[in-house]
Structure 1
Amino acid sequence: MRRKRTLEDWIMDSFITVILLAVALVTLYPFYYILLITFNDGADTALGGMYLWPREFTLSNYIYFFEDDKWLKAFLITFFRTIVGTVLAVLFTSMVAYGLAKRDLMFRKFYFVVVIVAMNFSGGLVAYYIVLRNLGLINSFGVYVIPSMLNIFFLLIAISFFKDIPEELSESARIDGASEFRILVKIILPISLPLMATMSLFMGSGQWNSWLDSAYFVQNEELRTLTYRMMQVINQSQIPAGDSQALSSMSKATVTPFSVQATAMVVSIVPILCVYPFLQKYFVKGMMLGSVKG
């Protein structure tokens, strides 16, 4: 039988509800406010006093963003680096983890020592730059995807995950003549969807939000990423010289540096919001499996 709710229960539930609503408001309103700015006249936004809805509704911010070749190219570069980088990172990390999960692997302990050292120590930015230069990755698209193909954190989680997959599955495939790569692709990865989805979400988010590699290792303006362009706008008090002419053509300055910055933020968030709901059911399960196995 359900216990009858007392006055104290009603008071406590009401108090908790108010607290949670306040936390939700404080958390969600900044995102709503940024969205509000993107649909409002830039000059009008600069006047302040706008809180709930656009005072002068306009699509000029989005029109300027998608018509500007610089922003559009940066968006496409970020999109392609996210897709290519995520696929390569998940596949390569899974392949290495699958090999290290085999107890009969030669020099297995040595490989683990290398992984642990790489996880805890770094050669520094200068040494990293020299390695990238010697590999011919500086100022190329490859600098975005090749260095991130092996994720040490998820490598250890994947090793722990693969260890607990029954060896009989692999043995039966070997008897039928399947190679190790075919076993990985056709058997191991399909039954590891929670792990794959979790890795894809984190690695994809990392690729989408990364801007340091574009700032340090790329000089070609055609290869700049969306987040790098956003950082440029954030760190400058004025629109760059190349943009000032474009903005001057907009009647009554309907587009401002701040409104462009807000628009870039919204555009950069939308793809992650679209992908996350499809991976959410695997996300929690994948993290729990990776944390308790081993």
Structure 2
Amino acid sequence: MEDRVLDTVITAILVVVVFVTLYPFYYILLITLNEGTDTAAGGVYLWPRQFTFSNYTYFLQDPKWVEAFGISVLRTVIGTALGILFTSLVAYGLSKQDLVFRSGYFLTVVIAMNFSGGLIAFYIVLRSLGLINNFAVYVVPGMLNLFFLLIAISFFREIPDELGESARIDGASELRIFARIILPVSMPLLATMSLFIGSGQWNSWLDSAYFVQDEGLRTLTYRMMQVINQTMVPSGDTQAAAMSRTSVTPFSVQATAMVVSIVPILGVYPFLQKYFVSGMMLGSVKG
């Protein structure tokens, strides 16, 4: 009897926690599917009172959003691939005990992880490299991920040296051993890195705000932030007239921006969630 009462109490608490956690997301989705002017009147809590897709139509009618979406996809794919490649290559080299100046390299990594020159110094470095207002500014700075570098070093240390010895005897180079032997047995590590680096690339918007002036290079999340941070009063008679014709409001457009920005990530996470668990274990068990 006591166990049944305890189970009931725990279940009730969990139901409340789930509701409190999920309802804000549901409410934002609800706002996007209801007419903005009707939402402004209040009383919309559980389902759309005036169902419509006009918020999404208004939001996506500007071709700049399609262009921004393409830039975000491109930076995510290229940035993730380069980040995994170079982080894995450096980690593989540092995992070798006989590497010359290995301690110095490790000291450099530790210093870089704990100390930063600041935004101004970072901007000067990017400008000297010609990366300002350039698509490469999205992918080059993230080609070496120091956090995953340490995790990958620990992971590669656990791989038996015997796997590569026979290939060395046959004359295989270290790059060939790395590509043909090490990477295939490191799929949990690579999958975890791709998930975290990819989500970071997709969600990043500060680099677009600070280091890019070309409107054609703006990312999707940057334009989302523009919409979310706009005032509740429409700017200009043209925008006000457009909103009045479509029954949308600045708040409904802001809610639509939030939904569009998180849908791609929410669509991927459920299928790859197990790799996030594996990623946490890589850092704790093999660390």
Match among 165, 168, 190 for residue 196 of structure 1: 190
> What's the TM-score once normalised by structure 1's chain length?
0.92
Q: Which segment drifts farther, 46-55 or 123-132? A: 46-55
Aligned with 2:255: secondary structure? helix
Q: Work out whether 1:292 is the aligned partner of 2:282.
A: no
Match of 1:153 in 2: 147
Contact 1:43-1:253 within 8 A present in 2 as well = no
Aligned with 2:166: secondary structure? helix
Aligned counterparts, 1:142-291, within 5 A: 142-238=136-232, 241=235, 245=238, 248-250=241-243, 252-291=245-284
Match of 1:30 in 2: 24
Instruction: Structure 2: state its 5+ residue gaps.
Output: none
Write the distance in 2 (CA, Å) between the matches of 1:178 and 1:248.
68
The structural deviation recorded for 1:266 is 1.4
Amino acid in structure 1 at the alignment position of 2:141 = P
- Runs of at least 4 residues off by over 6 Å: none
Match of 1:59 in 2: 53
Write the distance in 1 (CA, Å) between the matches of 2:231 and 2:283.
45
Aligned with 1:249: secondary structure? helix
The change in CA–CA distance for 1:240 and 1:165 in structure 2 (over 3 A counts) is farther
> What's the TM-score once normalised by structure 2's chain length?
0.94
Over aligned residues, Cα RMSD in angstroms? 1.7
State how many pairs are aligned: 287
Write the distance in 2 (CA, Å) between the matches of 1:195 and 1:234.
35
The change in CA–CA distance for 1:176 and 1:265 in structure 2 (over 3 A counts) is farther
Amino acid in structure 1 at the alignment position of 2:268 = V
Q: Work out whether 1:111 is the aligned partner of 2:119.
A: no
Contact 1:193-1:282 within 8 A present in 2 as well = no
Amino acid in structure 1 at the alignment position of 2:269 = Y
Aligned with 1:268: secondary structure? helix
Match of 2:73 in 1: 79
Write the distance in 2 (CA, Å) between the matches of 1:122 and 1:58.
48
Q: Deviations over 1:101-158 (max 9, x none)?
A: 0111111110000000000000011100000000000011111110011111110000
The structural deviation recorded for 1:239 is 6.8
Match of 1:135 in 2: 129
The structural deviation recorded for 1:205 is 1.2
Q: Deviations over 1:151-204 (max 9, x none)?
A: 111100000010010111111222233222222222212211111111111111
Write the distance in 1 (CA, Å) between the matches of 2:174 and 2:264.
35
